[in-house]
Structure 1
Amino acid sequence: MANIDQLYQLYLESTGICTDTRKLQKGNLFFALKGPHFNGNLFAEKAIEEGAIAVVLDESAYYQEDKSFILVRDALTSLQELASYHRDQLKIPIIGITGSNGKTTTKELMQVALSAKYKTFATLGNLNNHIGVPLSLLSIDSSYEMAIIEMGANHVGEIASYCEIARPTHGLITNIGKAHIGEFGGFENIVLAKSELFDFLKKNNGIPFINTEDAVLKNMLKRFDNAVTYPNEDDFYAAKPLPGSIFLEMETNFHDKISTQLVGQYNFVNVAAALCVAHFFEVPKKAAEKAVSDFQPKDMRSQLIKNDKYNIILDAYNANPDSMELAIKSLSSAENTESVVILGDMMELGESTQLEHEKIGEIAVDLGISKRFYIGKMIQAAKKTDTFGQFFENKADLIAYLKEHPLKPGSTILIKGSRKNALEELLPHLS
C-alpha cells in the first residue's frame, strides 16, 4: 500500500489529476473511483496505455506488478487525503463558499473582483462535492495567491467534511433557503448543514463574511467578534433595476453607480458579497467595481439571450422555491414588455413538493405575469392557484402549442426549472 508521501511525489511529477479516461491527458495521475454505475478500476490498464503517469486503484483484481499501479484501500479516500496533504502546503487565503442560492454566481463574481489584484483560483463549474472539492484543491498550484472553494451539500455533515479537507481561512454563506429540503429532512437541518462552514471558522479563528439581509445568517453574527458584514448602509445603500431594463444597477455611498450585466435585483447581495470580500483583501475599489460590471453570467444561470423576437432569461441550471420566487419577482419588474414565464418542476422538496409548486402558481399570478406556462408532473400542482395558466406534461407539447400560438414579439421570457427538466432545449423553438 502506498503512503501519502509517495502519492504526493507522483502528484508533483504529474500533469494533473484525472478520474475519467475520456478526459485523460498525457502525464496525468489517474484515480480509479467507483460509484453506483461505474468502476474506475476497470479502466486502470487503459489509463496507462493512454499516457497516465500512474493509476491509483483499490481492487486487487485489476492490480499489476508494475510501479505505475498503486494499490490503496480506497481510491476516493486516497484522493481526499492527497488533497488535504496538498492543502497543508498552500500558504494562501482559502475562502470557502456555500449557500442555498447564488453560490456559483457569487463565487465567480468574487473571483473576477479578487483577480483585479491577485491571481485567484475558483472551483470550476459545479465541482463542489466529495470528489469535486479535492479535485479543486489539487488544481491549485504555487502560482496562485488566493483560492475560492465552493461547497455544495444535501445532507448534514457534508460541508463539515469538506472543511476538514479544504480548511478554509475565510468563509461565506450566500443565504439559507429551501434548496434540497426533501433530502435534508427539514429547514432546521439545512441551517445546521450550511452553518458547518461557520462552525469550522469559529473553531479555527477563521473570518466569516455574513450577509445581514438573511435573517438566519444575521443571527449568527453574535457567535463571532471578527465577522465582516455586507451589505452595509455605508457601503451599498441602493439596488434597483435600470429604467426600462431588467439588469441590476447599484449605487455606493460614494454615489458611484455600478451597472451590471446581471439580471434581477436579487443579484444585489451576490455583487455586494464580491465587493465586500474584495475590499477586505484591499483590492482597489474602482478595479473591483469594473470587474463586477464587466462580468457576464453564463451556464444557464440568469443568462440573458436576445434574438430577433424575444429577450430570454435562461435560468435553467437549477431551481428551488426561493430562487424561483426571486426570478419571477425580477421578471415582473421589467418595464415596457410582455412578461412570460416557462416554469418546470423543482426537485428534492420531499413532503413540501405539492405545497411549494402550488405557491409558485400563486406568486406568478399575484405578480401579474402576462403569460404563464408550466411543464412537468410536479408543477401541475400550480393549477390550484393559477386557473388561467397553460399546463403541459412535457416540452414537446409546449413547443407544439407555441407553434400555433406564438408569443408577442418583444416579450421577455423567463425559463426556469431544476436541472432534470433540461429546459434549455426550448431555446431553438423561441426564435
Structure 2
Amino acid sequence: MTIDNLHNLFLEYPTVCTDTRKIKKNSIFFALTGENFNGNKFALKAIENGAEYAIIDEEEYMVSDKTILVNNVLKTLQELSEYHRNHCTAKIIALTGSNGKTTTKELINSVLSKKYQTIATEGNLNNHIGVPLTLLKITPNTEIAIVEMGANHLGEIEFLCKIAKPDYGYITNFGKAHLEGFGGIEGVIKGKSELYNHLISGKKNIFLNGDDPIQKEKLGNYIKKIGFSAHNQKYYIITLQDSSPFISLQFENTIVNTQLIGNYNFTNCCAAILIGKYFNIPLNDIRSAIEEYNPKNNRSQIINKNGHHVILDAYNANPSSMKVALENFYNIDRENKILFLGDMFELGKYAEVEHQAIVDLITKLKFEKVFLIGENFHKTNSTFTKLKSYDDLREALKSIILKNNTILIKGSRGMALERILDFL
C-alpha cells in the first residue's frame, strides 16, 4: 500500500493507536515493535477491540483483510505523518531545549487557544514516535500546532524537523541534559541548534530569549527573529517582578501573577507572551491564559499534605535543572527545609563529576536535612544521608518522624520520587 493510499484510509479513520489497551473504535492500529515488545502480536486483539485496520510488518500476523503488511511499521508511521503534514494548512511551532519544554509548550497552547483552534503535544510525546503521533492529530480545523521535540543525540532534531517542517521555532535553553548521547555541552548546543538550521534554511521566523548569549550568538544577524528581553529595547520588554515563591512579571504595564514557582519559569512565561503577541492575542487574554495555567504531572507542583509544604519536581532532572531548582528552594522564605534528590540519568562519563557538583552546591547553600537517593549520588563525597535506592529510602523513612516541613523532591523520571508523598 502506498502512503497516498494509506493517507486516504487515515482520512476515513483519522485516529491512530499504538496501544491495544487504549484502542478506540474506527481507529488504525500501528503495531510498533521495541526491545521488550512486539506489537505485531497484538494486531488481532486491536481489531477485536474496535480498530478498523492494523498496520503490521511481520507476515505471520496477517489475520484478515483488516491487517495491512508494510516493510517497517515505525517508518510507515513517520512517512504517513510527514505526508499528512504536507497536506494540512495548520501553522506549526516547533519547540525544543534542555529544560522547560513541556511547561513552555503548555503555556503557549494556553495563550494561543484563546483565539485559535490549536493542538499540542500530549505530555512529553516528543520523540521519533511522539512527534508523528502529534502531527496525525492535526485536523482540517486546526490552525496552529505546538510540537515539542526532544532529543538525546545529534541528528534527532534535524530528523524531526524533516517530518514536521515547522513554520516557527523556539529553543528554551541549552543545558546539561543527555550529556551521554550528545557527548558534552557542545554537542547539546549543536544538537538543539538543528532547529535553528532548519528554520534559517527555509527563511522561517524564530522566537528567542534576547538575554541568552548562546541564542544571540547562534542567530547572529539573522533577520527573521522575534525576541523578548528584560532590558534590550531591540526586543519585547518583559520584566520579573517577584518570585517568592510564585513568579509575577510585567509587560505593557500589565502585571501577571502566575501559579508557577522559580525564576527558571520566568522565561517560559516570556516565550508564551511573545508568541501570543506575535499571533495578535489580546493583552488581557494573554494575561488570563498564563494566570490560569496550573502545573501538573510532577512538574514544579505545589502540594500541601499533612502539614508539609512540598515542591514536587520529580518528572525529570539534569544538572542544569537541578541547579536552578536548588537555588530557587534556597531563596524560598520558609523554615524546616528538606531535600529529597534522586539520581540524574543519561550523563555517561559525566555522571560522577555532575553529581558531585550538585552535592557541592548543596553544601555551599548550607542545606542540612538532605536525602540523596540512587547509585550515582551514593558515590559522592558528602556527609548527607545517602541511599542506593528508593527501597532503602522507604526503610529509612519508617524510623523518621517528619512534621511541618518544606520539602523539595527532584530526580530523573526513572527514580519516580513522587512515591515519597506516600510517606508524608
What interval of TM-score do these two structures reach, taking the shorter chain for normalisation?
A: over 0.9
- My pick for the range that moved more, 128-137 or 38-47, is 38-47
Percent of matched pairs sharing the same residue: 44
- Match of residue 29 from structure 2: 30
- My pick for the range that moved more, 214-223 or 229-238, is 229-238
| 1:421 matched to 2:415 | yes
Alpha-carbon distance in structure 1 between the residues aligned to 2:362 and 2:117: 43
Query: Is the CA contact 2:93–2:146 (under 8 Å) kept in the aligned structure 1?
Result: yes
Query: Is the CA contact 2:247–2:266 (under 8 Å) kept in the aligned structure 1?
Result: yes
Alpha-carbon distance in structure 2 between the residues aligned to 1:165 and 1:108: 22
Query: Is the CA contact 2:90–2:138 (under 8 Å) kept in the aligned structure 1?
Result: no
SS state of the match for residue 171, structure 1? strand
- The one-letter code matched in structure 2 to 1:133 is V
Counterpart pick for 2:300 among 299, 302, 317: 302
| 1:393 matched to 2:391 | no
Counterpart pick for 1:114 among 100, 112, 115: 112
Q: Deviations over 1:297-344 (max 9, x none)?
A: 000011111123111011111100000000001111111333221101
Alpha-carbon distance in structure 2 between the residues aligned to 1:127 and 1:418: 17
Counterpart pick for 1:162 among 160, 163, 170: 160
Q: What is the CA-CA distance between 1:115 and the residue it aligns to?
A: 1.1
SS state of the match for residue 77, structure 1? helix
- Match of residue 336 from structure 2: 338
SS state of the match for residue 220, structure 2? helix
Query: Is the CA contact 2:230–2:239 (under 8 Å) kept in the aligned structure 1?
Result: no
Structure 1 residues 60 and 405: CA distance shift in structure 2, 3 A: closer
* Matching of residues 3-402 of structure 1 within 5 Å: 3-64=2-63, 66-222=64-220, 224-233=222-231, 235-242=236-243, 245-254=244-253, 256-382=254-380, 384=381, 386-387=382-383, 389-402=384-397
Q: What is the CA-CA distance between 1:240 and the residue it aligns to?
A: 4.7
- The one-letter code matched in structure 2 to 1:347 is F
Query: Is the CA contact 1:312–1:413 (under 8 Å) kept in the aligned structure 2?
Result: yes
- My pick for the range that moved more, 41-50 or 199-208, is 41-50
Query: Is the CA contact 2:91–2:145 (under 8 Å) kept in the aligned structure 1?
Result: yes
Query: Is the CA contact 2:211–2:230 (under 8 Å) kept in the aligned structure 1?
Result: no
Alpha-carbon distance in structure 1 between the residues aligned to 2:78 and 2:89: 19
- My pick for the range that moved more, 265-274 or 399-408, is 399-408
- The one-letter code matched in structure 2 to 1:343 is L
TM-score computed with the length of structure 1 as normaliser: 0.94
Structure 1 residues 237 and 71: CA distance shift in structure 2, 3 A: closer
SS state of the match for residue 197, structure 1? helix
Q: What is the CA-CA distance between 1:75 and the residue it aligns to?
A: 1.1
Alpha-carbon distance in structure 2 between the residues aligned to 1:344 and 1:81: 38
Query: Is the CA contact 1:375–1:392 (under 8 Å) kept in the aligned structure 2?
Result: yes
SS state of the match for residue 365, structure 1? helix
Q: Deviations over 1:181-236 (max 9, x none)?
A: 01211222211110111111011121111123332212112151111112343544
SS state of the match for residue 378, structure 2? helix
SS state of the match for residue 104, structure 2? helix
Q: What is the CA-CA distance between 1:252 and the residue it aligns to?
A: 2.6
Structure 1 residues 45 and 401: CA distance shift in structure 2, 3 A: closer
Query: Is the CA contact 2:95–2:105 (under 8 Å) kept in the aligned structure 1?
Result: yes
Alpha-carbon distance in structure 2 between the residues aligned to 1:400 and 1:45: 45
Q: What is the CA-CA distance between 1:76 and the residue it aligns to?
A: 1.0
Alpha-carbon distance in structure 2 between the residues aligned to 1:15 and 1:116: 25
Query: Is the CA contact 1:176–1:214 (under 8 Å) kept in the aligned structure 2?
Result: no
Query: Is the CA contact 2:179–2:348 (under 8 Å) kept in the aligned structure 1?
Result: yes
SS state of the match for residue 404, structure 1? coil
Q: What is the CA-CA distance between 1:397 and the residue it aligns to?
A: 3.4
Structure 1 residues 146 and 215: CA distance shift in structure 2, 3 A: same
SS state of the match for residue 273, structure 1? helix
Alpha-carbon distance in structure 1 between the residues aligned to 2:415 and 2:396: 18
Alpha-carbon distance in structure 1 between the residues aligned to 2:102 and 2:341: 21
Query: Is the CA contact 1:338–1:370 (under 8 Å) kept in the aligned structure 2?
Result: no
Query: Is the CA contact 2:323–2:358 (under 8 Å) kept in the aligned structure 1?
Result: yes
Alpha-carbon distance in structure 1 between the residues aligned to 2:335 and 2:192: 38
Structure 1 residues 241 and 369: CA distance shift in structure 2, 3 A: farther
How many residues align structurally?
421
Query: Is the CA contact 2:98–2:172 (under 8 Å) kept in the aligned structure 1?
Result: yes
Alpha-carbon distance in structure 2 between the residues aligned to 1:186 and 1:317: 22
TM-score computed with the length of structure 2 as normaliser: 0.95
Q: Deviations over 1:97-136 (max 9, x none)?
A: 0000000000000000111111211000111111111111
Query: Is the CA contact 2:89–2:140 (under 8 Å) kept in the aligned structure 1?
Result: no
Alpha-carbon distance in structure 2 between the residues aligned to 1:213 and 1:101: 16
Structure 1 residues 396 and 19: CA distance shift in structure 2, 3 A: closer
Alpha-carbon distance in structure 1 between the residues aligned to 2:241 and 2:375: 35
- The one-letter code matched in structure 1 to 2:6 is L
Q: Deviations over 1:41-77 (max 9, x none)?
A: 112222222221111111122224x432221111111
Alpha-carbon distance in structure 2 between the residues aligned to 1:71 and 1:86: 20
